[in-house]
Structures are given as structure tokens and as C-alpha cells.
């Protein structure tokens, strides 16, 4: 059940939204652009997911609904996290949706990041990685992820649950979670580059009556 917080002499329900980037993946370790390519977690990634589950259990945060992408690195992270937190029963109803996938890196997919910088130049690769509205060849920019996928999906499927006071976990990817921050209104296209999502680190939002009151990483 959501906790209660006291406001102006009365108790108001508080609920949680937790955003969790998957643990380290095989291609994270190999320093490759991953995007839509489906790769599993490394041993370190599994440890990061286990640690996230332990943190959530210690914080006493229990979930009513769990969302993930259709990619194995996010799915496996959610599985490990929920089992470690004692909430493995939620996996049977976990929603996996393609709109929560990582950004499509197009022609960069599978390329070594350092070698790509050597080939195209540091500035061009930085633009492809961090520009809000400039996509890599054949891929998506972050604006595409926000407007074509994450915003409509979040507003239609996840926000109604939060508005009902439900606790929600989203286990996804760095860029789909950055898109979620923009959708929530806590970051903008101008500030989003400063928002980092370490692998396996739960980012907690405390909400009251649908309004975000606190935002912090569990440690």
C-alpha cells in the first residue's frame, strides 16, 4: 500500500514511480552502440540488478505494476530485481512493450564508440549521441523517442495508474528513461544532457495527488 504523508492536518496518499536502467550489458562492456540490438546482461549487470532489488527491499517500496521494453537486458534486470526484492510474483503480469525500447542507433548499431569517433570525429559523434533532434544515420534522435513512443505510451498506459495512487516500476534503457523524464516535465530538451542513468541504479519519484514531490537515487 502507498505510504501516507500529512499535509495541512490530513493524511494524503503517497505513491512511487521508480525508473531503472538495465544492468551492464554485454555491449555496454564492449563499448558498442547497442540500440535495438538484443544483448543480455554481463555478470556485473546481474550484480547491479541484484543490488537494485536489495535497495528497493530495504526502502520498503512494493509495486502494483511493472513495465519493461521487449529487450532482454531490461527484462532480465526486472526479473532479478523483483525476485531479490521479494516481489517475483509480479513478473507474471509484467508488461513488455516496444515503445520502451532503447533509442535506435541506426547505422551506428554494433560499432565501437571510440572507433566511430576516430572515423567521424568527436564533435559529430557527440551530436549524434546527445543532440535532442539530430538522429544518427538510419536511426532515431531523442525527440523521436519522446514524441513517437514514450510520451504517448506513458500518458495512455502508465500515468493513469500513477494517478490512481499505484506504485509503478519501469525497467528500461538510458534513452527511453531520459524520454520519460521529459514526459514527466522534470527535464527539458535543454537540460536532459545533464540527466545520467547509471546502470542498475533505481531513480525514485515520490508523488502526492499526481504531483512529484521528491526525486532521488536509492543508495
Active site amino acids: 22, 102
What is the sign of the dihedral through the CA atoms of 154, 195, 198 and 107? positive
Q: Decide: 139 and 175 in contact? Cβ < 8 Å.
A: no
Burial class (CB in 10 A: 0-12, 13-18, 19+), 70: middle
Contact indicator for 77, 107 with CB cutoff of 8 Å:
no
Torsion of Cα atoms, 75 then 200 then 159 then 6, to 10°:
140
Name the nearest CA neighbour of 156 among 84, 100, 86: 100
C-alpha–C-alpha distance, residues 30 and 43, integer Å: 13
Amino acid at each position: 500500500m502507498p505510504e501516507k504523508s500529512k499535509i495541512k492536518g490530513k493524511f494524503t496518499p503517497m505513491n512511487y514511480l521508480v525508473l531503472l536502467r538495465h544492468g551492464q550489458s554485454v555491449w555496454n562492456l564492449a563499448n558498442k552502440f547497442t540500440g535495438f540490438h538484443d544483448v543480455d546482461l554481463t555478470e556485473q549487470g546481474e550484480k547491479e540488478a541484484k543490488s537494485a532489488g536489495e535497495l528497493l527491499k530495504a526502502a520498503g517500496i512494493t509495486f502494483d505494476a511493472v513495465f519493461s521494453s521487449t529487450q532482454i537486458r531490461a527484462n532480465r534486470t526486472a526479473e532479478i530485481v523483483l525476485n531479490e526484492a521479494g516481489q517475483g510474483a509480479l513478473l507474471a503480469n509484467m508488461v513488455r512493450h516496444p515503445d520502451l525500447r532503447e533509442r535506435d542507433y541506426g547505422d551506428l548499431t554494433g560499432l565501437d564508440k571510440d572507433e566511430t569517433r576516430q572515423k567521424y570525429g568527436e564533435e559529430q559523434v557527440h551530436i549524434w549521441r546527445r543532440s535532442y533532434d539530430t538522429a544518427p544515420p538510419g536511426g532515431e534522435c531523442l525527440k523521436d523517442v519522446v514524441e513517437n513512443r514514450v510520451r504517448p505510451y506513458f500518458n495512455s498506459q502508465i500515468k493513469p495508474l500513477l494517478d490512481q495512487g499505484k506504485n509503478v516500476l519501469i525497467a528500461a534503457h538510458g534513452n527511453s528513461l531520459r524520454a520519460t523524464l521529459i514526459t514527466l516535465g522534470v527535464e527539458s530538451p535543454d537540460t536532459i544532457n545533464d540527466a545520467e542513468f547509471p546502470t542498475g541504479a533505481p531513480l525514485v519519484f515520490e508523488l502526492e495527488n499526481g504531483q512529484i514531490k521528491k526525486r532521488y537515487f536509492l543508495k
